[in-house]
């Protein structure tokens, strides 16, 4: 596994982070609890020591307590028992739901109450006494940045979080928050099929802010496993949050996959490894999240760390991306 410094923090993060969005939730393909736990452990055993989760991951299961809110954190806590000092735990706050309404009432909030109570809830579910990096999951346009940073500062002083980060914030709000309380990291979407945040990542990384990217495999489309337009359920995250499995983008990405196939066949590697190395070989990407729900996926993803794309291969891929993505 390759490791990088996480901005100006003292953390060393693995090039590939364990992504837990799809663990035990209602908005992805069905996952199995014990297999999910083993997948996280397996990826950790392969050297992926950075684990990304959130209370809302695993949400939406009517048969679970609190509709599964916090379920992924519970699974992560189980998976890392006995190795807390060997991993970096990253979770989030500020995305909750109204219990009086139900699962369709998700809302964004970065008030002091939501941040402090969210952190306390995460610590309990993770069975830990501190979090390495607590991200505010989404911006809340109603709450002043000062209220957010004051709450995060208090959590740092109390030893409940080591660092804080911002996920999905605009560069303007990130820098404004940075003036109030130094932002340690950002989390933004970035992959071969979504480069919209590329310049932002470069600029923030140059300021010493750690960069973590998500959607590294384009919600699975960059694995090449799906070559015909699927018919996912309307609430499946692969179509409700991402647009890669919709026309005309789907057909265009299929052409990109054919170009990736050439490298895959020459190197005898799966396309997922090509996509992961394309992201993590960027100087301005400290760690890229790759979702995992099965041990076999974990082993395959981490094997990408054993090789790197050549300059010629990167140029070939970038030309294809310019045409088809």
Residues assigned a catalytic role = 57
- HSE-up (13 A, CA, CB side) for residue 254: 12
* Radius of gyration of the chain, Cα coordinates, nearest whole angstrom: 19
Interhelix angle 249-267/271-280, nearest 10 degrees: 100
Say what the alpha-carbon torsion angle 11, 215, 66, 154 is, to the nearest 10 degrees.
30
- 186 pairs with which residues across the strands? 166, 211
Nearest CA among 41, 51, 62, 48 for reference residue 24: 62
Would you say how long the chain is, in residues? Answer: 325
Identify the sign of the CA torsion 300, 305, 306, 310.
positive
Q: What is the rounded CA–CA span in Å between residue 125 and residue 117?
A: 12
Interhelix angle 311-324/249-267, nearest 10 degrees: 160
Q: What does the DSSP assignment read for 107-151?
A: EE---HHHHHHHHHHHHHHHT-S-EEEEEE-S--TTS-HHHHHHH
Angle CA 54–99–91, to nearest 5:
10
Interhelix angle 112-126/71-79, nearest 10 degrees: 40
φ, ψ for residue 290, nearest 5 deg: -125, 120
């Amino acid at each position: 596994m390759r490791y990088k410094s996480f901005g100006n923090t003292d953390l060393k993060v693995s090039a590939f982070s364990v992504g837990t969005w799809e663990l035990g939730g209602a908005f992805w393909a069905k996952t199995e609890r014990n297999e999910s736990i083993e997948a996280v452990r397996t990826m950790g055993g392969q050297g992926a020591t950075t684990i990304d989760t959130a209370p809302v991951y695993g949400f939406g299961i009517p048969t679970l307590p609190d509709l599964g809110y916090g379920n992924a954190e519970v699974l992560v806590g189980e998976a890392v028992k006995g190795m807390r000092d060997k991993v970096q735990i990253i979770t989030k706050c500020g995305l909750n739901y109204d219990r009086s309404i139900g699962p369709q009432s998700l809302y964004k909030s970065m008030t002091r109450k939501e941040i402090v109570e969210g952190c306390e809830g995460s610590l309990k579910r993770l069975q830990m006494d501190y979090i390495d990096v607590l991200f505010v999951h989404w911006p809340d346009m109603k709450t002043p940045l000062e209220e957010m940073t004051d709450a995060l500062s208090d959590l740092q002083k109390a030893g409940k979080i080591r660092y804080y980060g911002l996920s999905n914030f605009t560069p303007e709000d990130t820098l404004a928050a940075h003036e109030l309380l130094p932002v340690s990291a950002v989390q933004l979407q970035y992959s071969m099929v979504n480069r919209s945040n590329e310049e932002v990542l470069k600029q923030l990384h140059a300021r010493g802010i750690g960069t973590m990217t998500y959607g590294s495999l384009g919600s699975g489309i960059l694995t090449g496993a799906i070559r015909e337009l699927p018919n996912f359920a309307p609430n499946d995250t692969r179509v409700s949050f991402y647009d890669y499995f919709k026309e005309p983008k789907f057909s265009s990405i299929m052409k990109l996959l054919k170009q990736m196939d050439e490298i895959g066949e020459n190197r005898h590697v799966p396309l997922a490894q090509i996509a992961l190395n394309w992201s993590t070989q960027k100087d301005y990407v400290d760690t890229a999240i790759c979702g995992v729900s099965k041990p076999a996926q974990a082993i395959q993803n981490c094997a990408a760390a054993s090789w790197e794309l050549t300059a010629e291969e990167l140029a070939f891929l970038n030309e294809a991306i310019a045409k088809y993505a």
